[in-house]
Amino acid sequence: MKILVCISHVPDTTSKINFTNGDAEFDTNGVQFVINPNDEFGLTRAVWFQEQQGANVTVVNVGAADTEATLRKALAIGANEAIRVNATPTDGFFVAKQLAEVVKNGGYDLVICGKESLDYNGGMVPGMLAALTGANFVNSCIGLTVDGSNVKATREIDGGKETLSTSLPLIVGGQKGLVEEKDLRIPNMRGIMTARTKALQVLEPVSADQTTKAVKFEKPAAKGPVKLFTVDNLDELVNALHNEAKVI
């Protein structure tokens, strides 16, 4: 089984976020980037298929050369090889078009994407990729088993879970639950050293329209000051909750 895991290069959640050019562009200065968490769950599941069923795992990213450190980390976790499409990911459709080209040329049986990336949270790429490739599609996937060409997938739905039977080729939009957090892989020294020698192929992008554009970013409003009350002044606390916060 050939598995392709799509990797987004996203800011660490602890990073301080700023914008430039009239708040129209994200400022990357001083920002540490990591594997998108939803993608990391998918990568860990793919490595499990590699260990249990002999699958070959390739990771792919659409991005500039500075994303290669993130791909090398994915290789250190256990992927066999990596592909970088040498382009700035301008919007969801552009990324999906680049990934579709990789999928079509690579003959992959299973493609695992995160259901959305941590930076823009668009949630568009997995579905678009399935439409462009004609593959079956399961989104919000929290469970996945493969037996030959037969697949059983569990996905999260409003108010519960749904178990589906489908077949390869398949595109999956994965998330937390595809594996448990405790099962996520941390690269060890051997994996890091091995990753340096694994193949990382750079492809030039195909032509694709940019269908969306970020016009302006805005930070959430700053939190207000905290008001403290002593334990012997409960009447004042109740009055504040009732007249100021209006929660009682």
What are the backbone angles phi and psi of residue 3, rounded to the nearest 5°? Answer: -115, 135
pLDDT digits (tens, 9 = 90+) for 130-148: 999 999 999 999 999 999 9
Long-range contacts of 163-168 (CB under 8 A, 24+ apart): 164/138, 166/136, 166/138, 167/136, 168/1, 168/109, 168/110, 168/136
Q: What is the DSSP letter of 65?
A: G
pLDDT digits (tens, 9 = 90+) for 225-241: 888 888 888 899 999 99
Q: Are 86 and 205 in contact (CB under 8 A)?
A: yes
**What CATH number belongs to 2-217?**
3.40.50.620
Please state the rounded mean pLDDT for residues 62-70. Answer: 97
Over 90: is that where the pLDDT of 248 sits? no
Domain residue ranges in the chain: 2-217
124 vs 167: CA distance, rounded Å: 22
37 vs 90: CA distance, rounded Å: 20
228 vs 137: CA distance, rounded Å: 51
Over 90: is that where the pLDDT of 246 sits? no
pLDDT digits (tens, 9 = 90+) for 147-178: 999 999 999 999 999 999 999 999 999 999 99
